[in-house]
Amino acid sequence: MASGNAIRGSRVGAGPMGEAERGESAPRLRISFWCSNGHETQPSFASDAQVPDTWDCPRCGFPAGQDRDSPPDPPRTEPYKTHLAYVRERRSDADGEAILAEALAKLRGEI
């Protein structure tokens, strides 16, 4: 048997539900976007709003475009580089040998 509570499922202070209280909603458009994994997303936009070229896929996070046959490429993620990796990009082995020889000479008191 159901309880006699008439306001079940609503919050205190809630007014009447329906469009009459809130006003008319704006006309909407549903636009399809596809990511490189083949996921389809259909966000809705106001009919007079500017539709973006890309949209983030809620399933994988990749960018999605409106063209199903050629979706945008996923972003390139570069692996984390250590400080030594950046130094090796800037300096050759010969430069490293020269710097090491200079530092050792300084420690030995030759300079």
Task: For 28-48, write each residue's pLDDT tens digit.
Answer: 999 999 999 999 999 999 999
Q: Binding residue per annotation — 54?
A: no
- What does the alpha-carbon distance between residue 35 and residue 53 come to, in Å, rounded to a whole number? 12
- Its domain, for residue 37, covers 28-65
Number of structural domains, the chain? Answer: 2
The answer to whether position 2 is within a domain reads: no
Percent of the chain as helix, strand, coil, to the nearest 5: 25, 15, 60
The answer to whether position 73 is within a domain reads: no
Give CA torsion, residues 35, 36, 40, 46, to 10 deg. Answer: 20
- What does the alpha-carbon distance between residue 86 and residue 76 come to, in Å, rounded to a whole number? 19
The answer to whether position 4 is within a domain reads: no
Q: Binding residue per annotation — 57?
A: yes
Predicted structure pTM score: 0.54
pLDDT in the model for residue 57:
94
Does an H or E element contain 40, and which?
strand 40-41
